[in-house]
Amino acid sequence: MYKQHEDKLGWAQSKTNRVYKALKKLVVDFTMPPDTRFDMRRIARVLKISPTPIREALIQLEAEKYIMGSPRNGYYNKKLDTKQISDEYRFANIILKHAIRENLDEYSKPWPVLPTNPSWNDNYLIRDFLEGFSESIAESSNNERMLDSVHESNIRTRYVRLLDLQRPERLSCIRADMSELLELLDKRDKNGAIANVDRQFSAMIDTVPELVLEGNHRAGRTKESWLETLSLIWAES
């Protein structure tokens, strides 16, 4: 879906790709206040590189709609958007239900194992499990485009999903729903599994407006310097 840049000769080993991944993580994790300008000179000083790969990475991120702006007017971090997040959930829901309906009978790989206590106290682990599980269902379609689309949707909704997991009683509801879904998939109960997936996505979509408001408010109050955070991401990459 947004992988065309990865086909460019030498992209994987390029400095631009490294900058792209670091900036993308900063944006996806929402550790940068909304409407903040990406100052290329300051970023270059912090990362100790030239502005060129930074500019190229920002152009790519804007093309993928992770950020907004232009080379002439500068680039800015976007606010969370209720419609965009809801649309991502609806799109993923359609793909997963299609994969179950058309491919469940032929899929032979084991499904991801449901985490046990005390893992359900780790919101990050559960978020990663949910993302991996949805991508396993998409993989059953044997359609790379569908898998890429679900993976991309997971990235774009990652911060909101984490906020959702932090809500009271939410983990227990998700655990019950996922236990039921695993059982339905093992039984090859297509109708039951589709109804379960639809119910889970509907519950998430219903909470998106509230979570978007909370997410934008939290990010706007971020005290840590996003440049310091970027420096740490860069050092670990």
- Reported as a pLDDT band with limits 50, 70 and 90, residue 74 is very high
Sequence letter at residue 63: A
Question: If you average pLDDT over residues 115-143, what whole number do you get?
Answer: 91
For residue 36, pLDDT over 50 is answered with: yes
CB of 142 within 8 A of CB of 122?
no
Distance from C-alpha of 165 to C-alpha of 173, rounded to nearest angstrom: 10
- Of 196, 159, 167, the closest CA to residue 179 belongs to 196
Mean pLDDT of all residues belonging to the chain = 92
Q: Could you tell me the pLDDT band of residue 221, with boundaries at 50, 70 and 90?
A: confident
User: In this structure, how many other beta carbons lie within 10 angstroms of the beta carbon of residue 48?
Assistant: 8
For Cα atoms 147, 206, 201, give the angle at the middle one, nearest 5 degrees: 25
Residue of 8 and 113 predicted with greater confidence: 113
User: Tens digits of per-residue pLDDT, 164-174?
Assistant: 999 988 999 99
Among 133, 139, 130, smallest CA distance to 108 is for 139
* pTM of the complete model: 0.91
Residue type, 141: S
The mean per-residue pLDDT over the stretch 199-216 comes to 97
SS3 74: strand
CATH topology of domain 82-217: Four Helix Bundle (Hemerythrin (Met), subunit A) (1.20.120)
- C-alpha to C-alpha distances, 162 to 6, 7, 29, 43, nearest whole angstrom: 28, 31, 10, 27
Q: Where are the domains of the chain?
A: 4-78, 82-217
Percent of the chain with pLDDT strictly greater than 90 = 84
CATH architecture observed for domain 4-78 = Orthogonal Bundle (1.10)
H/E run at residue 228: helix 226-236
Q: What is the pLDDT of residue 118?
A: 66
Separation of first and last alpha carbons in the chain: 24
The pLDDT, as a whole number, for residue 1 is 47
Is the pLDDT at 211 greater than 90? The verdict is yes
Total number of residues shown for the chain? 237
| Tens digits of residue pLDDT in 41-73 | 999 999 999 999 999 999 999 999 999 998 888
Describe the crossing of helices 15-28 and 226-236 by its angle, rounded to 10 degrees.
130
pLDDT at residue 224 in the model:
74
Angle at 82 between CA 80 and CA 88, to 5 degrees: 90
Is pLDDT at 2 greater than 60 in this prediction?
no
* Residue-wise DSSP of 106-172: G--SPPPPPP-TTGGG-HHHHHHHHHHHHHHHHHTTT-HHHHHHHHHHHHHTHHHHHHHHTSTTHHH
Q: Which pLDDT score is estimated for 9? A: 43
